[in-house]
């Protein structure tokens, strides 16, 4: 019988530098007496997470969702890029607005 992929106890290598997250087919996981679930190595690699990483969890419509902080930041950056053109420096724009406001108040 072939070995099941992604359920080994040893760590599987992954490239943390990639911006692309992969998909992995579903797996049946058990909750132990302490309420813990082991995330299979293949799924951890697809998520780009390793031992010691912090995940953010939430339940949406009865579905348990986990996301790494890095993936959350990348998702937020993609959302911002939909509204802010590449190369735009929002901090510089904010500072220019504040300076203009200060000049108008003093002037």
- Residue pLDDT, tens place only, 66-85: 999 888 898 898 898 899 88
In which band, very low, low, confident or very high, does the pLDDT at 20 lie, cut at 50, 70 and 90?
A: low
DSSP one-letter code for 15? -
Q: Which of 57, 69, 53, 70 is nearest to 19 (CA)?
A: 70
In which band, very low, low, confident or very high, does the pLDDT at 14 lie, cut at 50, 70 and 90?
A: very low
- Taking residues 86-96, report their average pLDDT: 88
In which band, very low, low, confident or very high, does the pLDDT at 13 lie, cut at 50, 70 and 90?
A: low
**Could you give the percent of the chain with pLDDT greater than 90?**
42
Q: Which of 76, 88, 93, 70 is nearest to 21 (CA)?
A: 70
Residue 104: in which H helix or E strand, if any? helix 90-106
* 90 vs 2: which has the higher pLDDT: 90
């Amino acid at each position: 019988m072939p070995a099941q992929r992604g359920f080994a106890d040893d760590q599987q290598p992954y490239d943390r530098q990639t911006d692309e997250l992969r998909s992995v087919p579903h797996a049946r996981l058990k909750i132990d007496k302490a309420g813990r679930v082991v995330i299979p190595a293949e799924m951890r690699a697809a998520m780009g997470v390793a031992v010691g990483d912090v995940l953010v969890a939430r339940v949406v419509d009865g579905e348990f969702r986990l996301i790494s902080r890095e993936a959350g930041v990348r998702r937020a950056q993609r959302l911002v890029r939909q509204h802010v053109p590449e190369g735009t420096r929002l901090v510089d724009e904010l500072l220019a607005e504040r300076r203009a406001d200060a000049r108008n108040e003093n002037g």
